[in-house]
Structure 1
Amino acid sequence: MTHTLITGRPGSGLTYTAKGIAREAVGRGESVTVVAGSEYRAPEWANVEGITVTINARRAVTKARDLVYDRAERRAYDETPHTVILDDPVLGESDWDAVERITGLGRQVNVTLVITTRTLRGIPRSVADSMEVVELEPAAV
């Protein structure tokens, strides 16, 4: 699977689309970690079975980056594919550095990243350029 950056306005289906990706990954036997953008968003993921949900973006991104490094250096023996979903995350500069490293090496070691966001503003170009960008249209009223 490719790293995916999903953009769209609120209500366009950002989380809905990411949930579909999570369900597909679980169905393939992958482990899935979801970082909900806030404690208020976490309950939106309650109906997706087989995933781990957290609101601590820094810890989840750091763990994913470390997993990528460990697998790349053959220190990790579990090669189970892992998908990390950042659902409308709030990330600092050092977090984006870790995300950049995940997008750089992740596919080679079975770690896939999915990010949902309302806008590409604030996402480093190097990250956006290394991901498939999916732009969702506003929901019809």
Structure 2
Amino acid sequence: MRVSAKSDYALRALIEMAVRVEDRAVSAEELGRLQDIPHGFLQAILADLRKAGIVISQRGQSGGWKLARPASGVSVADVIRAVDGPLVSVYGLRPESVSYNERADVLQHVWIAARDSLREVFEFVSIEQLASRELPDNVTTRTARDDAWQPH
């Protein structure tokens, strides 16, 4: 799996929103400056997140962007799906929709297993956990293994 710039930027912007005192809105300009995200790109990302019900925009003097629901209720998977679509796709199709001939149909099982593996992490890491820097055990256990840090 490749993590897109959109997903990375979206997660970084949401972390900034989650650490705001008293759930105060933050401008797109400030989000972009704090996380070094190009303004035009960030505006498109925020629009995707708004459409998914993850953020809301607030007009006025103290306007800007803020989370539409508690940070504990927004997972990394929610964010990736909002800005990039399904966690795993095979030439644009969901793994369960792909069909192969009899010799290659085992590939579908690999794609389904890969998606399940990603879900084990992405579904159980929330924006709140990212903002507090307290990841769940299933993530810290995986990153504690030396081979996890090695490129292959």
What is the TM-score when the length of structure 1 is the normalising length?
Answer: 0.30
Structure ranking higher in strand proportion = 1
Higher relative contact order (CA 8 A, sep 6+): 1
What is the TM-score when the length of structure 2 is the normalising length?
Answer: 0.28
